[in-house]
A and B are shown apart, each in its own frame.
Chain A
Amino acid sequence: MSVSRTDPRIAAGIIALAAIGILIGGAFAGLGIEAARNPQGAADAFDSYLFRIARFTLWQALLSTLLSVVPAIFVARALARHPAFPGRALILRLFAVPLALPAIVAALGILSLYGRAGYFAEPLAALTGGTWPGIYGLSGILVAHVFFNLPLATRLILEALQTVPADQWRLASQLGMGARSSFRMIDWPAIRAALPGIAGLVFMLCITSFTIVLTLGGGPAATTLEVAIYQALRFDFDPARAVALTLLQIALTAVVVLALMRLGANTTGDANLPVAQRNYIKAKTGEKALNTAIIVVALVFVGGPMLATIVSGLEANLGRLAGEAAVQRATLTSIVLATLSATLATMLALSLVMARRALAGSRTGGEKTLLERFTDTGAGFVLVVPPIVIGAGWFVLVRQSVEVFSLAPFMVVTVNAVMAMPFAVRAVRPAYDAASERHERLCAQLGISGWNRLRLIDWPVLKRPLATAFSFAMALSLGDLGVIALFGSDAVQTLPYLLLARMGSYRTDDAAGLALMLGLLCLALTMLADRLGRETTK
């Protein structure tokens, strides 16, 4: 439908793309200028240490992916085989929680469980026959990554399993297929189709993981590129090294994302809760016992750190903590910045969604234009550029002209907004496209456009999806420790930054209390987003 060439929606999309372009382009400009100014320094930075870090980055991501995805196959299959498993819906809901938890909260939960002074330290020490050193380094990173990604992979695999038509299951039970043959004939083909995408997504998340490695990794032996970038800028003041590390990180993520695209994976993940049940399976007792064991182990592994976060958080002196001026200021800063960031993310997403639709509408068949591609899949590519990289780029760009730390609020708001934007697009686009499908010609005929259209037609339909996008973006921004770690200072502290500072100065009780507060805040926002989202689709 060729409705209008001068659609304001297209202009909005172009502005949004330009804003994103400036943010990312500025970072690259900073890196480029720095490399040009000191090419020898940047080249020298490519030393054996750097390659050791790169190797470790890949190695931990590979191990994390294997340890997350392989067990997830069994957990998902066990859940799929037992649609009436007691508390199944609750388990699935619990498996969605890590997605909503800030990484630093999870890291703290894991430490209070398996750390040197953790709840499991004594039994573990007795078991290993010595003193428990606590999990730091590779083992800590792996445990944390599996904590995040095992539930994610489980849910995605379960989703893949539920795309199997019910008729196949009726058929399987009619033919008397047992657990083994039905896995081979029905489950495995469905899982295999989805597996490359899921594994790729997990790998991508692990390769760009910053907070976990920062808090649980130990020393030069267990450092990834992202953490090394941070250290190069914050502690060594070595921009040349930061540039080299950043270039390597970008190259690495670009390769992974290209591979992911070939595999057809969705890089924004998925938060849909599979609830469909099938009732054609009669599992034998042995299988039932095994599956129950698998589910319980997974549940303990995922639920443990959450429980530890709650228990140790409650042990902290929450009352004193809440009364502390620094905590109050950090909370306020966090909420203000996250609100601004979420607003920006939602506006960016809406602009892109509207522009994409308008461009698709004005196209009479044929190829998509470059602009339409950018507003369509292009938006998701910002995830290729990790927040630390953008932060690092701007850091070296502006460090000589302005006080870097004064940029903290601006950087936190914009970078987090751009990072949350792809998720916001996911929340808004289906509703907008469906409404547009119904309203486009009618609006064109009646001459409803611009502000009138936004106010009378689009807003009533979109307010819920927009609220979903907003609260999700706010949760993401609230829990982020990437940009603020680079730009934070005593003057501008967010909750995660304060949490990190308290961890660093061994005020474990404070950290636990703060983690509980932050975790609950993010969880509440995500649940709100989820609820609003589900009411929309009804």
Chain B
Amino acid sequence: MTSTSAAVRLDHVVFSYSDTMVRFDVTFAPGEITAIMGPSGAGKSTLLNLVAGFEIPREGRVLIGDVDVTIAPPSERPVSMVFQENNLFAHLDVEKNVGLGRSPALRLATADRRDVATALTRVGLAGMEKRLPRELSGGERQRVALARVLVRDRPILLLDEPFASLGPALREDMLDLVASLHAERGMTVLFVTHQPEDARKLAKNMVFVEAGTVAAAGKTADFFTNAGPEAFRHYIGGER
């Protein structure tokens, strides 16, 4: 309950990589879950990478709350990110993987270990501290990543299609888990997904990215009506 939510703002951000260019000018509401949807290659992941600090904009500013983090290194931003895969170090056990969220030197005091255990219990992995990632299922590995998010306790959570490779039932469970973690901590969540039902179930807001820019933004509910943005309806129609 410690993290205070903060808005995320990309202020006239321009970023280019090789021959592709993206421009973002968008604000994400504090303490709410926003789904980011759009065709492959539209720039969804780039948007998250800009917020996380893996990419540095050529122009414009990245703001978290009132703080300009445009050129801050990733580890100094109030941000946690869960990737689609490779969230864990394969040679470290579950406890160490989560513990790295507390200390990058892996020096854990007794209190830290207790927090790690609590977080693991919270994501449903109690007693699995000594397992190695390869001994876990895909869903369990993403749970470990979420446990680390809890231990890090940052006000911004970025989810880059973290459940894309899970089966439907498992994905459902994970969405429930994210929803309940959000209810507890109230962090600002940016959730990239390809699944419209994920957005409907979890996200209050929606940002639709197309061709390297934000094509539409608003309440999720509005997107799924006949009055929703045409590009989005076209995308949904084409995808489904």
* Known contacts A4-B73, A447-B76, A442 near B86 by CB under 8 Å: yes
* Known contacts A1-B55, A2-B54, A444 near B86 by CB under 8 Å: no
Q: Is the CB of A444 within 8 A of B17?
A: no
* Known contacts A441-B54, A445-B80, A446-B100, A461 near B91 by CB under 8 Å: yes
B106's nearest neighbour on chain A, judged by CB, is A456
Binding site for B on A (CB under 8 A): 1-4, 364-366, 437-439, 441-442, 444-449, 452, 456-457, 460-461
Most buried by A among B90, B104, B105: B104
B160's nearest neighbour on chain A, judged by CB, is A441
B16 adjacent to chain A (CB < 8 Å): yes
Q: Is the CB of B54 within 8 A of A444?
A: yes
Q: What residues on A are CB-neighbors of B75 within 8 Å? A: 444-448
B18 adjacent to chain A (CB < 8 Å): yes
Q: Is the CB of A364 within 8 A of B74?
A: no
Q: List 25 A-B contacts (CB under 8 A).
A: A1-B49, A1-B54, A2-B56, A3-B54, A4-B73, A364-B16, A364-B17, A364-B18, A365-B17, A365-B19, A437-B86, A439-B86, A441-B52, A441-B54, A441-B74, A445-B74, A445-B75, A445-B79, A445-B81, A446-B101, A447-B73, A448-B75, A449-B104, A456-B105, A460-B91
Q: Is the CB of B87 within 8 A of A442?
A: yes
Q: Is the CB of A447 within 8 A of B54?
A: no
Q: What residues on B are CB-neighbors of A460 within 8 Å? A: 91-92
B89 adjacent to chain A (CB < 8 Å): yes
Per-residue A-contact encoding for B81-100, CB less than 8 Å = 1, 0 else: 10100110111100000001
Q: What residues on A are CB-neighbors of B43 within 8 Å? A: none
Report the minimum CB–CB distance from A437 to chain B (whole Å).
Answer: 8
Report the minimum CB–CB distance from B229 to chain A (whole Å).
Answer: 31
Q: What residues on B are CB-neighbors of A456 within 8 Å? A: 89, 92, 100, 105-106
Q: Is the CB of A452 within 8 A of B104?
A: yes
Report the minimum CB–CB distance from B85 to chain A (whole Å).
Answer: 8
* Known contacts A364-B16, A460-B91, A447 near B104 by CB under 8 Å: yes
B53 adjacent to chain A (CB < 8 Å): yes
Q: What residues on B are CB-neighbors of A449 within 8 Å? A: 104
* Known contacts A444-B54, A460-B91, A438 near B104 by CB under 8 Å: no
The secondary structure that dominates the B interface is loop
Q: Is the CB of B104 within 8 A of A3?
A: no
B88's nearest neighbour on chain A, judged by CB, is A442
Q: Is the CB of A366 within 8 A of B81?
A: no
Q: What residues on A are CB-neighbors of B90 within 8 Å? A: 438
Q: What residues on A are CB-neighbors of B54 within 8 Å? A: 1-3, 441, 444
Report the minimum CB–CB distance from B217 to chain A (whole Å).
Answer: 26
A457's nearest neighbour on chain B, judged by CB, is B89
Report the minimum CB–CB distance from B94 to chain A (whole Å).
Answer: 15
Q: What residues on B are CB-neighbors of A457 within 8 Å? A: 89
Q: A445: which of B17, B52, B92, B105 is its contact (CB, 8 Å)? A: B52
Q: How far is the CA of A152 from the CA of B104 in the complex (A)?
A: 46
Q: How far is the CA of A449 from the CA of B86 in the complex (A)?
A: 18
Report the minimum CB–CB distance from B50 to chain A (whole Å).
Answer: 10
Q: What residues on A are CB-neighbors of B74 within 8 Å? A: 3, 441, 444-445, 447
Report the minimum CB–CB distance from B199 to chain A (whole Å).
Answer: 24
Most buried by B among A2, A437, A439, A461: A2
Q: What residues on B are CB-neighbors of A437 within 8 Å? A: 86
Q: What residues on A are CB-neighbors of B76 within 8 Å? A: 447
Q: What residues on A are CB-neighbors of B89 within 8 Å? A: 439, 442, 456-457
Q: Is the CB of A448 within 8 A of B100?
A: yes
Q: Is the CB of A364 within 8 A of B55?
A: yes
Q: Is the CB of B73 within 8 A of A446?
A: no
Q: Is the CB of B53 within 8 A of A444?
A: yes
Report the minimum CB–CB distance from A95 to chain B (whole Å).
Answer: 35
Q: What residues on B are CB-neighbors of A441 within 8 Å? A: 52, 54, 74, 81, 83
Q: What residues on A are CB-neighbors of B18 within 8 Å? A: 364-366
Q: List B residues 45-78 near A (Cβ within 8 Å).
A: 49, 52-56, 73-76
B56's nearest neighbour on chain A, judged by CB, is A2
Q: How far is the CA of A442 from the CA of B18 in the complex (A)?
A: 23
Q: What residues on A are CB-neighbors of B19 within 8 Å? A: 365
B85's nearest neighbour on chain A, judged by CB, is A438
Report the minimum CB–CB distance from A3 to chain B (whole Å).
Answer: 7
Q: How far is the CA of A442 from the CA of B141 in the complex (A)?
A: 14
B107's nearest neighbour on chain A, judged by CB, is A452
B101's nearest neighbour on chain A, judged by CB, is A446
Q: Is the CB of A446 within 8 A of B104?
A: yes
Q: How far is the CA of A1 from the CA of B106 in the complex (A)?
A: 25
